[in-house]
Amino acid sequence: MADDKAHFSSRISAVLVQKIKERAKQDNTSITAIVEDAFKQYFKDDLPGLCPYCHTQNNPEAQFCQKCGRALTEEAQMSVTQAEQFIKKSAVYQEVLDTIREELGLEKKDKQSE
């Protein structure tokens, strides 16, 4: 088995191996974690529940990522978008936004420009 592993990594270009090593050091993570992430990216369409943002493997039926909270399905994304649109249309949202802008000393944004 050890021979197989050596054989496998020797087939990957030295430049790529170097890149992976550098990135592992830079991100303070393991080479295995990077390679695993890469495979997850490659197979993401065959891995339901896999978060495309943080690469957490969630329950295959999950609608939202348990780690970063982002939507995992088109359906979930649509409900988020609808909720956002609903909130942005509400008067309270504009009021809160204006208050925050005032507090931060920012100019009120023209409602028409949004």
Q: Check binding of 50 to Zn ion (CB under 5 A).
A: no
Sign of torsion, CA 87 89 93 98? positive
Question: Is 71 one of the binding residues for Zn ion (CB under 5 A)?
Answer: no
Which of 68, 78, 87, 96 touches Zn ion by CB under 5 A?
Answer: 68
CB of 86 to Zn ion, least distance (A): 24
Task: Report the half-sphere exposure of 74 (CA within 13 A, side-chain side).
Answer: 1
Among 44, 67, 88, 101, binds Zn ion (CB under 5 A): 67
Q: Cβ 4 to Zn ion, closest distance in Å?
A: 32
Work out the burial of residue 72: count CB atoms within 10 Å of its CB; fewer than 13 is exposed, 13-18 middle, 19 or more buried.
buried
Min separation Cβ 66 and Zn ion, Å = 8
Residue 34 CB partners (closer than 8 Å, separation 6+): 20, 23, 24, 27
Of the candidate residues 54, 83, 87, 100, the single one contacting Zn ion (CB under 5 A): 54
Q: Which residues bind Zn ion (CB under 5 A)?
A: 51, 53-54, 56, 65, 67-68
